[in-house]
Amino acid sequence: MFDLTKAVEQDKAFIDGVWEKLDKKLSVVSERSRDKVPYTTENGTHINNHNISWWTNGFWPGLMWLMYVGTKNETYKKTAERTEELLDEALEGFFGLHHDVGFMWHISAGVNYRITGNEKSKVRTMYAASTLAARYNLNAKIIRAWNSDPCVAIIDCMMNIPLLYWASREIGDPRYKHIAMSHADTTMENHIRPDGSVKHIVEYDVETGEYVKEIGGQGFGEHSSWSRGQAWALHGFVLSYIHTGKQEYLDTAKRIAHYFIACVCDDYLPKADFRSPEEPVLYDTTASACAACGLIEIARNVPEHEGKIYYRAAIKLLKALDANFCNYEMDEDSIVQMGTERWTDKPETIGKTTHIPIIYGDYYFAEAIYKLKGFDLLFE
């Protein structure tokens, strides 16, 4: 297998330098934003997300746990625990929950439990896993994405099902893993095109489970290639391989990775959609941060001659982010800039939903550096 530890030696100065910059800034921001659940910023300051059920709310505590494991600085732990408590309101509300409960609790309460053995954190995470499993449609063999659509699956869910793999191991019940693999198999069949590009949304018949149609989603439109969707798929399938050992998942992750690398290889600055018109030029830095994490995992799970392909691509993505889109100023809260929620050609959205800092950009950028530093893999 590819020796990641050996490979990072040539990039050690870059990796250590970025980690130091992250720690220097986040050690301050973690205290400044302790009572917030941030999504983006306004005038450089984290905005508290008042929708406690919002799908991104686990990334801030997840980021804090990454930094705590890597530094043992108690300020990160305190902030992570505080946010976990705030998220209890979402669990109690129930009806606001959705398939993104993996994003919300697997990397927050789940990590807390895996580090500290906190039983309350275990209960929170199992509650989330059971909620996710309950969304499974037996006929369509998919996990329903949203409460507003009776039988729709989106590629993002590949990043949520690691919660189910964990639950199966934790309580010795294979049902959770079976549901996760069934969803992954259906996604592999219906979301991934032969060239490695990815459909964001697929609708199924709620009764028969038959494939109905592709829906454009957050990319340019139907048949396009939303870059963050590519990243969710790339990263998600290699995680399913790690949890199951099913070779088809790794092969699928590699095919998606080849497409992603081919689309960014000019400058390693990913556009929001790889098949959108040339104008306007919209970047989505969150796509490259997430993809880098997945590429690192592919690298460590393939033979030596293959691994360097994925590792070098990950490093180039991270270096491009650091050089072009990272803000390490201490008086501003976000780090990775130029994230984009969805592709749009409306000028009035610039700075509102496009080219803004988004919390999962910071999370995945830090996670990629964390992995290259060789810290414990507690977040998968």
Q: Kindly list the catalytic residues.
A: 100, 156
Structural tokens at position 334: 């976000």
Structural tokens at position 375: 């810290």
Q: What are phi and psi of 205, to 5 degrees?
A: -70, 125
- Give the position of tokens 């104008």: 279
Q: How far apart are CA 61 and CA 144, in angstroms?
A: 25
**Amino acid sitting at position 259:** Y
- Alpha helical stretches, state H, 41-155: 59-71, 74-86, 88-93, 101, 109-116, 119-133
CA–centroid distance for 45 within its chain: 23
Could you give the C-alpha distances from 24 to 17, 41, 140, 329, in angstroms and in order?
11, 19, 48, 10
**Three-state SS annotation for 342-355:** CCCCCHHHECCCEC
In DSSP terms, which residues pair with 213 in a beta bridge? 203
